[in-house]
Amino acid sequence: MNDYLETNLPDVYACGDCAEIRAKEPGGRNRIEQLWYTARMQGEALARIICGERVPYDRGIWFNSAKFFDLEYQTYGQVSPQPGDDEDSFYWEHPDRKHALRIAYRKPGMQVIGFNAIGIRLRHRVCERWIREGRTLDEVIRHLPEANFDPEFYQRFEAEVARQYAASRHAVSEAAAV
Ligand SMILES: Cc1cc2nc3c(=O)[nH]c(=O)nc-3n(C[C@H](O)[C@H](O)[C@H](O)COP(=O)(O)OP(=O)(O)OC[C@H]3O[C@@H](n4cnc5c(N)ncnc54)[C@H](O)[C@@H]3O)c2cc1C
């Protein structure tokens, strides 16, 4: 099928696990996106298309999310294993080593470019919007509770994350003042 989720048969569409989006460029790789989120996004795109609004399905900013037994992770945007010269990241980890958060940003303006979360559920739509809008690390840390969608009564870690972030900023400004 194509970016409009149309198959080779008229009025027959595909989305979700059963769908394979054909590469546009010759020799390009077809896309199979077997994720819950992409299934929902394709369903939403298809609803618009069959209602007459012919806009292509767009996965948007890269993301993935999974659960392995009781360990959950999400990744949104770009978190490079080897950050480039203009990239850096803020990292927080709980002493139990089951909860961790890395937020990658571009160094000049500290615009956030990616998130890796383990053991904390972060909302896809909120993180994607923050990346798209070029929100700074300061803003993201301040508004972190807005991104959380852990179930009720789960332990929350935003305050600890913010404390560590504030301490790291303080250390940076102290070093700059020396
Ligand atoms: C074990 C496992 C773990 C996963 N973990 C993750 C994860 O951590 N994160 C993530 O994002 N994604 C995960 N996924 C993938 C995610 O569940 C799927 O990508 C998503 O559910 C696909 O949605 P879908 O609507 O295309 O298909 P489905 O959710 O499979 O829905 C298809 C529906 O069609 C029904 N059906 C089948 N045949 C017929 C028929 N002939 N007539 C009527 N109904 C029919 C089925 O019963 C089913 O309800 C996981 C999948 C599995 C199997």
**Do residues 46 and 93 share a domain?**
no
Say how many Å lie between the CA of residue 68 and the centre of ligand 1: 16
**pLDDT tier, 46 (very low <50, low <70, confident <90, very high otherwise):** very high
Ligand 1 pocket check: which of 13, 17, 63, 121 to mutate, most ligand atoms within 8 Å of Cβ? Answer: 17
> How far apart, in whole angstroms, are the C-alpha atoms of residue 121 and residue 119?
7
**Do residues 33 and 69 share a domain?**
no
Cβ(66) – ligand 1 distance below 6 Å: yes
The whole-number pLDDT of residue 176 equals: 72
Cβ(65) – ligand 1 distance below 6 Å: yes
pLDDT digits (tens, 9 = 90+) for 144-166: 999 999 888 889 999 999 999 99
Share of the chain above pLDDT 70, in %: 99
**Do residues 96 and 142 share a domain?**
yes
Q: Which residues contact 56 (CB under 8 A, 6 or more apart)?
A: 3, 4, 45
Domain boundary pick from 59, 81, 107:
59
Which CATH number belongs to the domain containing residue 166 in this structure? 3.30.390.30
Q: Are 23 and 17 in contact (CB under 8 A)?
A: no
Tokens 């059963």: give the residue: 18
**Do residues 134 and 173 share a domain?**
yes
Cβ(16) – ligand 1 distance below 6 Å: yes
**Do residues 68 and 55 share a domain?**
no
> How far apart, in whole angstroms, are the C-alpha atoms of residue 53 and residue 73?
34
Say how many Å lie between the CA of residue 65 and the centre of ligand 1: 15
Say how many Å lie between the CA of residue 24 and the centre of ligand 1: 26
- Quick check: 131 pLDDT over 80? yes
**DSSP notation for the chain:** --TT-B-SSTT-B--GGG--BPPSSTTPPPB----HHHHHHHHHHHHHHHTT--------S-EEEEEETTEEEEEEE---SS--TTEEEEEEE-TTSS-EEEEEEETTTTEEEEEEEESS-B-HHHHHHHHHTT-BHHHHHHTHHHHB-PPTT----HHHHHHHHHHHHHHHHHHHH-
**Do residues 134 and 108 share a domain?**
yes
Q: Which of residues 116 and 37 earns the better pLDDT score?
A: 116
pLDDT, the chain, mean: 93
Domain limits at 34? 1-59
The whole-number pLDDT of residue 178 equals: 64
**Max Cα-Cα span within the chain:** 70
Domain boundary pick from 59, 86, 108:
59
Identify the residue whose C-alpha is closest to ligand 1 atom 5.
Answer: 66
**Do residues 100 and 19 share a domain?**
no
**pLDDT tier, 171 (very low <50, low <70, confident <90, very high otherwise):** confident
**Do residues 126 and 78 share a domain?**
yes
**Do residues 96 and 162 share a domain?**
yes
**Do residues 67 and 104 share a domain?**
yes
**Do residues 54 and 71 share a domain?**
no
Domain boundary pick from 17, 36, 59:
59
Count up the domains in the chain and report the number: 2
Say how many Å lie between the CA of residue 175 and the centre of ligand 1: 52
pLDDT digits (tens, 9 = 90+) for 11-30: 999 999 999 999 888 888 89
**Do residues 132 and 86 share a domain?**
yes
